Structure 1
Amino acid sequence: MKRLYRSTKDRYVAGVLGGLGIYLKVDPNILRLLFVIGLVFTAFFGLALVYLAAALLIPSEGGSHI
């Protein structure tokens, strides 16, 4: 069974997009670019809250904390 984890190796902030890239088998840099574009269109608020919630709710790969 495939599980979503925050990446501990491919991370810039909390590893959410790195882990999502691994889970979806997509280059995490593409997800990061889409995230930054999405931040601009949501005036940094909506998508930033989603990222924060994901960073708090998705477990880290290997069980360590942020």
Structure 2
Amino acid sequence: MTTTLNRPTLTRPRGRRVIAGVCGGIAERFGMRPTTVRLLFLLSCLLPGPQVLIYLALWIMMPDRGY
């Protein structure tokens, strides 16, 4: 017996965009608030690492939902 999880796919919604919709899409996918994901992203930018490059890659790779 297989079960299907009713999770939303990883897309960039138009209604939750601030810049590109990446944080809004991640928040929706994992059931979080978009503000929380944006805050976590901004805090992670204080640490060394490729956070901005990952954001840009997700912006390019995540499909636009279109509505």
- The TM tier, using the shorter chain, reads 0.7 to 0.9
- Structure with bigger helix share is 1
Residues 1:13 and 2:28 are matched in the alignment: no
TM-score, with length taken from structure 1: 0.83
Instruction: Quote the residue 1:23 is aligned against.
Output: 29
CA RMSD of aligned residues (A): 1.6
TM-score, with length taken from structure 2: 0.82
Aligned residues: 61
Instruction: Work out the percentage of aligned pairs sharing the same amino acid.
Output: 31
Could you list the structure 1 runs, at least 4 aligned residues long, displaced by more than 2 angstroms after superposition.
none
Counterpart of 1:50 in structure 2: which amino acid?
I
Name stretches of at least 5 consecutive residues in structure 1 with no aligned partner: none
Q: CA deviation at 1:62?
A: 2.1
